[in-house]
Amino acid sequence: MSSTQRRTVFFISDGTGITAEALGHSLLAQFPDCRFRQVRAPFVDNIDKAQACVRQIRDAATHDGFRPIVVSTLVNSAIVATLRQADAQFLDLFEQFIGPLEAELGTKSTHTAGRFHGIAESEDYKARIEAINFTLAHDDGQSNEKLDESNVILVGVSRSGKTPTSLYLAMQFGVKAANYPLIPEDFERNKLPPDLIRYRTKLYGLTITPERLSQIRQERRPNSKYAAIENCLYEIDAAQRLMRREGIPFIESTSRSIEEISAKILQEIRIPHIGY
Amino acid sequence: MSSTQRRTVFFISDGTGITAEALGHSLLAQFPDCRFRQVRAPFVDNIDKAQACVRQIRDAATHDGFRPIVVSTLVNSAIVATLRQADAQFLDLFEQFIGPLEAELGTKSTHTAGRFHGIAESEDYKARIEAINFTLAHDDGQSNEKLDESNVILVGVSRSGKTPTSLYLAMQFGVKAANYPLIPEDFERNKLPPDLIRYRTKLYGLTITPERLSQIRQERRPNSKYAAIENCLYEIDAAQRLMRREGIPFIESTSRSIEEISAKILQEIRIPHIGY
């Protein structure tokens, strides 16, 4: 397929489609030279909706001049059979894996639609929502109340990536992630913020290159001392020295996504309640 | 397999493992009567780490009395071959799907490890981080500045689920989701908050049952008028009438997860820049 041509990819699910989409993105990322148009079709949970998808797939094929790719998570075999009326390449998660799993486990699957359906009542889900609320209340050192309940407290200079990482940890993994800034006063004293000292074992640091930090801060406060490269150099150097001396592990956030940073942090902290 | 026995499931990836885990959770959810112990093994990107996994798999098999299940996303064939030395049921995303995709697309995959590696520099990723910052700055009606840049503005009574849903939309889909509370003053005037009137087409409502709302508010402010069932009944009735009259679509959040609510909202709003 030439790089100027475009293929349509459908993410079809009887639930939210979030798993199908994650799966699809991982697969498509292996073909960086191809161009894809992505169409999300969640909640395809009856034959009518499946037939509407079939029409969309046919239209896309006519438009593109290629048969589309369908990445799906569908448990209902009548819906699958309906979709198969379209000419497409089907990559279905359940079709591939449920059979082998049933054989391995020696039991039938429930064939229940929708990964997230009913999840809102589960303990895991409630823990995630509670973690999000905790993380929001403990963003940027705004509260010391119940800090002992945190699973991890991210520390680092202003704009090193603490807030989005904390929120990702809470939302994806149910981790109560507080975050606390390291500020010039801490560097002058060359000590941790006093409120954090007793939580030293929960601390995890984020650092960033001075160049990237300066760039991010410039967007916020152009031409400020805060954003100046000399100041960024000073703050990062001081923060890293402080973290090394206090034995706080830290990770470079510059070229890492919040997914990568969170997965690395999760490898190193102990989170009793989530059972890994 | 009897329901009292437990099988270990490994999520193994050369990247964050988030896709393998999402995939695994979807599959395991089809077997609600089985008990699983879940072990996450991200960043398995060399033979040494693969060998360490093999030992963990063997230990789990000995402990459980069953061979473990391995759900993986691995692109390096030497790492896959090493893991295969363990006796387990292997469900590998790439093994199943990359071959057929290569044939369909008429091109070889890059076999590059780590879905999220390098993603931090991508435009999509930057848009997600920007959306998270936007959403945080526009939580709970705290700012009207640049509200015109929002993709959606969630409205609803206090504690109807606006904040976690907004954050999920931002984090997962890069949607700039503001949220704005509907408060008793709005119901007395029986009008939308004045600042929202010109953004009516961006509004999307969340509602909740009075019983659940009262329960959530009780946890926050026990025995308050705010949490009383009569007050919750009044606020929800007034909010729904207001939304109906203004033609604002709304969704019941009570028994839905933020994933479900977000996927439903995404089906109904237009988001130009994310290309769906």
Q: What is the ipTM of this complex?
A: 0.89
- How far off is chain A from B157, nearest CA to CA, in Å? 17
Query: What average pLDDT does the segment A129-143 reach?
Result: 95
Quick one: A184 exposed, middle or buried, by C-beta within 10 A (0-12, 13-18, 19+)?
Answer: middle
Q: What is the pLDDT of residue A276?
A: 42
Contacts of B17 in chain A (CB under 8 A): 263
Cα angle B210, B216, B217; round to 5: 85
Give the distance from residue A213's alpha carbon to the nearest chain B alpha carbon, in angstroms. 14
Is pLDDT at A50 greater than 60 in this prediction?
yes
CB-CB neighbors (< 8 A) of B276 in chain A = 38-40
- Output the tens digit of pLDDT for each of chain B's 276 residues: 444 589 999 999 999 999 899 889 889 988 988 999 999 999 999 999 999 999 999 999 999 999 999 999 998 889 999 999 999 999 998 889 988 999 999 988 887 665 445 667 788 899 999 999 999 999 999 999 999 999 999 999 999 999 999 999 999 999 999 999 999 999 999 999 999 999 999 999 999 999 999 999 999 999 999 999 999 999 999 999 999 999 999 999 999 999 999 999 999 886 654 444
Of A1, A116, A129, the CB nearest to B260: A116
Residue B263 is nearest to which of A17, A33, A118, comparing CB atoms? A17
Mean pLDDT of A110-115: 64
**Looking at residue B87, what is its pLDDT?**
96
Annotated binding site of B for ADP: 156-163
Question: Between these two residues, A83 and B75, which has the higher pLDDT value?
Answer: A83
CA–CA separation, B239 and B187 (whole Å): 7
Which of B139, B169, B142, B157 lies closest to A136 in space, CA to CA? Answer: B139
| B191–chain A nearest CA distance, Å | 29
Rounded Cα distance between B272 and B15, Å, is: 30
Does the annotation flag A161 for ligand binding? Answer: yes
According to the model, what pLDDT value does residue A38 have? 93
Contact between B276 and A116 using a beta-carbon 8 Å cutoff = no
Least confident of A58-67, A107-116, A143-152: A107-116
Do B208 and B183 touch, CB atoms closer than 8 A? no
Quote the CA–CA distance of B100 and B44 in Å, as a whole number: 25
* Nearest partner of B41 among A275, A208, A263, A72, judged by Cα: A263
d(CA A235, CA B17): 33
B170 burial type by CB count under 10 A (0-12 exposed, 13-18 middle, 19+ buried): buried
Confidence (pLDDT) at B75: 86
- Of chain A, the end-to-end C-alpha distance in Å amounts to 43
Of A173, A11, A251, A258, which Cα lies nearest the Cα of B116?
A258
What one-character-per-residue DSSP string does A158-185 give? TTSSHHHHHHHHHHHH---EEEEE--HH
Distance CA A10, CA A53 (A): 9
| Interface-testing mutation among A33, A77, A105, with chain B (most B C-beta atoms within 10 A) | A105
Binary contact (A97, B132; C-beta < 8 A): no
Cα-only R_g, chain A: 24
Cβ–Cβ < 8 Å for A32, B110: yes
Residue B154: burial class (beta carbons within 10 Å; 0-12, 13-18, 19+): buried
- Which pLDDT belongs to residue B65? 94
Provide the chain B residues 180-239 that lie in CB contact (below 8 A) with chain A: none
Does A271 touch chain B if contact means CB atoms closer than 8 Å?
no
pLDDT on residue A119: 67
The confidence band for A114, taking pLDDT boundaries of 50, 70 and 90, is low
Lowest mean pLDDT among A129-133, A258-262, A266-270, B150-154: A266-270
B116 and A257: CB-CB below 8 Å? yes
Asked if B89 lies within 8 A of A97 by C-beta distance, the reply is: no
Give the side-chain half-sphere CA count within 13 A for B47. 5
The pLDDT, as a whole number, for residue A274 is 46
Counts for chain A of helices (H) and strands (E), in that order: 10, 8
Residues in chain A closer than 8 A to B254 (CB atoms):
120
Contact B93 A23 (CB under 8 A): yes
Residue B133 with chain A: CB contacts under 8 Å: 163-164
**A158 annotated binding-site participant:** yes
> Which residue among A107, A119, A263 places its CB closest to the CB of B1?
A107
Domains defined along chain A, listed by start: 6-105 (3.40.50), 120-274 (3.40.50)
Helices (H), chain B: 18-28, 47-64, 77-83, 93-105, 123-137, 162-173, 184-189, 210-220, 229-246, 258-268
Contact criterion met (CB < 8 Å) for B132 and A275:
no
- Yes or no: say if B91 and B27 are a contact pair by the CB < 8 Å rule: yes
Provide the chain A residues 120-139 that lie in CB contact (below 8 A) with chain B: 120-121, 125, 129, 132-133, 136, 139
Phi, psi (deg, nearest 5) at residue A238: -65, -40
Q: What confidence category does residue A55 fall into, taking pLDDT thresholds of 50, 70 and 90?
A: very high
Q: What pLDDT sits at residue A188? A: 94
Dmax (CA) for chain A in angstroms is 70
Nearest CA in chain A to B159: A133
Half-sphere exposure of A88 (CA within 13 A, CB side): 32
CA-CA distances (angstroms) from residue A75 to A68, A190, B99, B104? 21, 58, 23, 24
DSSP A85: T
Q: Of how many residues is chain B composed?
A: 276
Looking at chain B from residue 14 to 43, which residues have their Cβ under 8 Å from any Cβ of chain A?
15-19, 22-23, 25-27, 29-34, 37-40, 42-43
Q: Is the pLDDT of residue A275 over 50?
A: no
Under the banding of pLDDT at 50, 70 and 90, the label for residue A273 is: very low
- Please judge whether A262 and B16 are an interchain contact, meaning their C-beta atoms are less than 8 angstroms apart: yes
Q: Alpha-carbon distance A108 to A14, whole Å?
A: 19
pLDDT value for A271:
64
